[in-house]
Amino acid sequence: MNKSIVGTVIVFISVFFLLVSLSYSENSETFPQRVISLSPSITEELYLLGAEDKLIGCTTYCIRPKGAKTKEKVGTVIEVNLEKIVMLNPDIILATSLTDSKAVEKLKNLGIKIESFPASKNFNELCNQFLKLGKIVGKKNKAEEIVNDAKNKIDIIKRKTENMPHPTIFVQIGSSPLFAATDDYFIDDFINFAGGINIAENSKSGLYSREEVIKRNPDVIVIVTMGIAGDKEVKIWKNYKTLMAVKNNRIYILDSYRLCSSTPVSFVDTLKDFVEILHPEKRKINL
């Protein structure tokens, strides 16, 4: 009899401590309160997660959404001003693979926590990074919510475009030299999800020859804005009158910001644009 009482008490105490320690660890997981973002897409994502009040500094390129413009500036995407960062006394810095490695090293030496987000190559990676970000700033649930919503919308779009014709497309992201979006970029995902075929998908490097494009004769050509160079490129393409894209007047220019640095939400928006481009006959897919 005594043994069973002692045994029960021990079990209760253990469970009690277990529960306490579990809740303790959840509460003691103090999330950073002062965050600096070194990338425009990370800044945008923080706003999406509702974590913008934790943002104490960002780059001069962080202009979306509007609120980001008023935040303290700590440099560009590549070059960061270390003094500014130290003065702001951050808990964590969110960097990318573009950030100057020496600066990253320096910040680590100064004892400041820094988390690096390499450029995502496809939608999956984009989502994983978004989830990682959510976990770091303590908005795990919100992040999962947003990602699931985006995934759903994309599934719907995929299903709708499945039965549509699959045009071939060439997306140009550089002018001299001519650079194509291969499967290394999540532009490839835009194309595939919108039901298109990327002619440069399996190309080893992005360097592409104009002749190759003409040979493959894509139905659509998309040029990522590069200022004046973009308009020039359109003119050059129009010279090749045998191209399907030229004959059917399907050369488009798209905003580089959307195509190159994205959040899961903006990904869906841009995907809709892509669907419009690829399937002009089906105007405005309703979601």
Q: Which residues bind another protein (CB under 8 A)?
A: 60, 73-76, 78-79, 81-84, 86-87, 89, 97-98, 100-103, 105-106, 108-110, 119, 177, 184, 205, 207
Looking at beta carbons only, is 210 or 282 nearer to another protein?
A: 210
Question: Smallest Cα–Cα separation from 279: which of 234, 237, 220?
Answer: 220
Alpha helices by DSSP H, listed for 138-220, are: 140-162, 187-193, 210-216
Tell me whether residue 108 or residue 210 sits nearer to another protein (CB atom): 108
Pairwise CA distance, residues 19 & 16, whole Å: 5
User: Which residue, 108 or 113, has its beta carbon nearer to another protein?
Assistant: 108
What minimum distance in Å lies between the beta carbon of 205 and another protein?
Answer: 6
Q: In the complex, what is the shortest distance from the CB of residue 188 to another protein, in angstroms, rounded to a whole number?
A: 15
CA angle 155, 65, 172 (to 5 degrees): 60
Give the strand pairing for 179-180 and 168-174: antiparallel
CB of 126 to another protein, least distance (A): 16
Q: Output the smallest distance, CB 89 to another protein, in A.
A: 6
Measured from the CB atom, the residue of 108 and 247 that comes closer to another protein is 108
Q: What are phi and psi of 90, to 5 degrees?
A: -80, 160
Residue 207 Cβ vs another protein, minimum distance, rounded to whole Å:
7
From the list 57, 53, 46, 56, the residue with the least C-alpha distance to 134 is 46
For tokens 């040029």, name the residue: 223
Local structure of 37: helix, strand or coil: strand
Q: Whose Cβ is closer to another protein: residue 94's or residue 150's?
A: 94
Contact indicator for 184, 206 with CB cutoff of 8 Å? yes
